[in-house]
Structure 1
Amino acid sequence: MPKRFNVVRAASALVEATLKTDKQVSIEFGVSIRTIEQWRSRLKVDEELQREFRRMANEKLSQWVGEIPNSLELAIGFIASAARTGDTTNPDMVKAITGAIATLNDVFVIQAAIQQRQQGGE
């Protein structure tokens, strides 16, 4: 007998798949990659699944976004302190600070990409 489709499970897996690979999600949820792909296809036509996906995606994004300001404030403070107290003639120090700033930028880019994926974009 085929298993009954579970909207909550599928939506939860698809939200996770916006942040992880299909392989990771398939292992986490105990399903095949093909099942993840089928759920993603069903998301395009199933209004109940769309509603649950949007609800869960917004909840997940709100949690994640809620943590960003404090994390960024701490990171920026650390970078500023390191930049003030570090040896600016040391190439490794300059590289580390530059890398940290690039990482902060990446956070904003990733956040935008996640929002777009969760809103149904690719």
Structure 2
Amino acid sequence: MPQSFNYERAASALVDAIFMGDKAAAEKWGVSTRSIEGWRSRLNEDARLAGLFQQKKKAREKTWASEIPETIQLGLKFIQDATKEANPADPDAIKAIADAMKVLMEIDLTKQILDARMAEMVDIH
């Protein structure tokens, strides 16, 4: 007798795939990356899976993503203030500000990647 489709598992694994990548999500859920890919394809055809996926994605975003904008704003303000007050002749200050800028650019790139992955997973029209 074939096993019935586990919507909870598929939706949870798809959300994890957004944040962890397909390989790590597949390992976590004990499935192949091919299963993840198949479930992702099914999102556009299966309203129940798509709805559950959206619910789980929103719940995940609330747990951490909701705090990111304010934290980024505070960090940006701190870096702006430090940049204004830093001695441009101090090599340590220059390095600290350059390192902070590198982190900011990495955060921006990560956001762009996550946005692209989410757009690929669900047909946004």
Which ranges in structure 2 are unaligned for 5 or more consecutive residues? none
Question: What are the within-5 Å matches in structure 2 for residues 44-63 of structure 1?
Answer: 44-63=44-63
TM-score relative to the length of structure 1: 0.74
Amino-acid identity (%): 36
Partner Cα separation in structure 2 for residue 56 and residue 108 of structure 1: 24
Partner Cα separation in structure 2 for residue 90 and residue 30 of structure 1: 52
Aligned amino acid, residue 107 of structure 2: V
Which residue in 1 is equivalent to 2:93? Answer: 93
Which residue in 2 is equivalent to 1:26? Answer: 26
Aligned 8 A contact 1:11 1:52 in 2: yes
Which residue in 2 is equivalent to 1:68? Answer: 68
TM-score relative to the length of structure 2: 0.73
Shift of 1:69: 4.3
Partner Cα separation in structure 2 for residue 117 and residue 103 of structure 1: 21
With over 3 angstroms needed to count, the CA separation of the structure-2 counterparts of 1:45 and 1:118, relative to structure 1, is same
The number of residue pairs the alignment matches comes to: 121
Which ranges in structure 1 are unaligned for 5 or more consecutive residues? none
Partner Cα separation in structure 2 for residue 22 and residue 67 of structure 1: 25
Deviations 1:69-108 (A, max 9, x none): 4533563465457546755324453233133134235435
Aligned amino acid, residue 118 of structure 1: M
